[in-house]
Amino acid sequence: MKPDWLKPALDYIPRWMEFQMEAWQRPGCVIAIARHGRIIFEQAFGVASLKTGEKLTPRHRFRVASHSKSYTAAGILKLREQGRLKLDDSIGQHLPGRLHKATARVTLQQLLSHSAGLRRDGRDSGYFADTRPFPTAEEVLRDLEGAPLIEPNTRFKYSNLGYALLGLVIEQITGQRYADWMTAEILRPLGLDETLPDMPARRSAKRGGALPKPGLMHGHSGRLLLGRRVVIPCDQPLHALAPVGGFVATASDLALFYNHLSPDAKRSVISIDSRRELMRKQWSVPHSSMGGEYGLGTIIGRFNGWEWFGHTGGLQGFISRAICVPSQGLSIAVLCNSLDGLNGPWVDGILQILQTFAQRGAARGRTDGWSGRWWGLWGACDLVPMGDRVLVAGPGFMMPFSDASEIAVTGRNTGRIVLANGYGSHGESVELKRDARGKVTEVSFAGGKMTSRAKMAAEISKRYEGKKR
């Protein structure tokens, strides 16, 4: 049974997000939210490609990049449950004679938690800027010919090459290609049919032309470098780095994947103990303003008391973030098709919306007309009823309910601001103006008028453009 606050919270998210997309002028974004193994919200905003103008849909697939590490970690833990490896195995036990003797002593646990001290990327990591193809297994091993760069097990040091080694372990133990085993053992049992472990390899013209892209839209650069965005296809396979960042998925599939990793999930591909281990803090992230901790293939954090685990991902043209909040049974995925996508702040904004409604509950009492978006010279505000108050949200803010004023409704058309920031209008009156049919046409906050976007735009144009000053 869904709590009464969930529906109004989900109703407000797209209203806020549409404003955000217009305000920040990003090409496209898809949001999906899962609860207890089912999708309860998914919506696309913007375009799949600025080149074609194709509308973005929830069925479009994104490069979800480093979220791939969570899939790889789940695969390793599944092999452990089958008795085919131990986390304190050295990497050399599974790849004998292929690594420097000091690197060969690194454990699978250290690789999973980014504490092996290995190089982050290859000596020439131009594959992240499309100046060279992504590496083969042999090229990865050549990049790891030396000893670890720092002493293993001394600090968190992110390593894409370390996760490439975990992919080679999966292939060595199973005797199958990484993509084939992950599809059969992780993706299909969870019904994640819109997910691939990597892009299909391109075919040459002699062998029948290029493979069709599996619903993949274009990625885009940021805007500032050139003063405009350029299209980035990003349809290349990652080869040996598929376990690191090759996965392709819809927002819904990604939200469902993390939902199935929750310790309380009724359906999963690994045990409850393994799921708990995935989200158990292994290392704090040093020298980072973002803070947080890392588990086994998962980033761990908390938001005003709600603990979450998940990951972020970035590949040329795409950036994404997905988290699961086990205490609420909720997972959120925000996928953007531009390198300057605001997926991080937008996930936090969605968390704040959900949490605010959860704390206050659905609206109670008189709320007719006490909702909607209202505009003035200084921007817009949203009246959002919840509990026994009407909150004044800022749709232009990354967290729309930060410092939100609260209105107590005292009559059909009257209210009082019973809580406001000290710089605001605490204790003052609010009044609705209605037309002959009873529709609200204007809101007066402590004497300041706000109205519809069209009417306010006309007023501002007339005031400032209609005559010389």
DSSP string, 329-360: TEEEEEEESSTT--HHHHHHHHHHHHHHHHHH
Is residue 363 one of the residues assigned to a domain?
no
Q: What is the pLDDT of residues 270-306, one digit of tens each?
A: 999 999 999 999 999 999 887 789 999 999 999 999 9
Query: Which of 327, 355, 383 represents a domain boundary (last residue)?
Result: 355
pLDDT of the residue at 447: 86
Mean pLDDT of 227-236: 93
Query: Which of 355, 383, 398 represents a domain boundary (last residue)?
Result: 355
Of the pLDDT bands very low, low, confident and very high (cuts 50, 70, 90), residue 210 is very low
- 175 vs 94, 256, 263, 460, CA distance in Å? 12, 28, 30, 69
Lookup: tokens for 429: 């009156």
Lookup: tokens for 77: 């833990």
The verdict on 120 and 257 lying in the same domain is yes
pLDDT of the residue at 469: 53
Q: What is the pLDDT of residues 130-183, one digit of tens each?
A: 999 999 999 999 999 999 999 999 999 999 999 999 999 999 999 999 999 999
Q: Write the DSSP symbol of residue 381.
A: E
pLDDT of the residue at 213: 53
The verdict on 123 and 72 lying in the same domain is yes
The verdict on 344 and 404 lying in the same domain is no
Of the pLDDT bands very low, low, confident and very high (cuts 50, 70, 90), residue 467 is low
Mean pLDDT of 318-336: 98
C-alpha to C-alpha distance for 75 and 294, rounded to whole angstroms: 18
The verdict on 116 and 228 lying in the same domain is yes
- Average pLDDT for the chain: 94
Give yes or no for a contact between 424 and 405, defined as CB atoms under 8 angstroms apart: yes
Is residue 14 one of the residues assigned to a domain?
no
Query: Residue 205 pLDDT more than 70?
Result: no
The verdict on 397 and 261 lying in the same domain is no
Give yes or no for a contact between 48 and 217, defined as CB atoms under 8 angstroms apart: yes
φ, ψ for residue 197 (rounded to 5)?
Answer: -75, -15
The verdict on 257 and 336 lying in the same domain is yes
Q: What is the pLDDT of residues 212-231, one digit of tens each?
A: 455 778 899 999 999 999 99
The verdict on 332 and 383 lying in the same domain is no
pTM value? 0.95
Is residue 364 one of the residues assigned to a domain?
no
Could you tell me which residues come within 8 angstroms of residue 259 by beta carbon, excluding any fewer than 6 positions away? Answer: 34, 35, 36, 37, 265, 324, 329, 330, 331
Q: How many domains does the chain have?
A: 2
The verdict on 320 and 418 lying in the same domain is no
The verdict on 310 and 340 lying in the same domain is yes
The verdict on 344 and 388 lying in the same domain is no
Mean pLDDT of 60-89: 98
Query: Residue 73 pLDDT more than 70?
Result: yes
Of the pLDDT bands very low, low, confident and very high (cuts 50, 70, 90), residue 59 is very high
The verdict on 389 and 282 lying in the same domain is no
- 54 vs 49, 259, 312, 320, 443, CA distance in Å? 6, 30, 26, 20, 38
3-state secondary structure of 135: coil
Check which CATH number belongs to the domain holding 311 and give it: 3.40.710.10
Q: How many CA atoms, within 13 angstroms, populate the side-chain half-sphere of residue 299?
A: 18
Is residue 64 one of the residues assigned to a domain?
yes
3-state secondary structure of 225: coil
Mean pLDDT of 386-409: 97
Query: Which of 355, 388, 416 represents a domain boundary (last residue)?
Result: 355
Q: To which residue do tokens 């995925």 refer? A: 333
C-alpha to C-alpha distance for 320 and 362, rounded to whole angstroms: 30
Q: What is the pLDDT of residues 86-125, one digit of tens each?
A: 999 999 999 999 999 999 999 999 999 999 999 999 999 9
Mean pLDDT of 51-71: 96
Is residue 206 one of the residues assigned to a domain?
no
The verdict on 416 and 313 lying in the same domain is no
pLDDT of the residue at 409: 96
Lookup: tokens for 65: 């990049």
pLDDT of the residue at 206: 43
Range of the domain at 453: 372-465
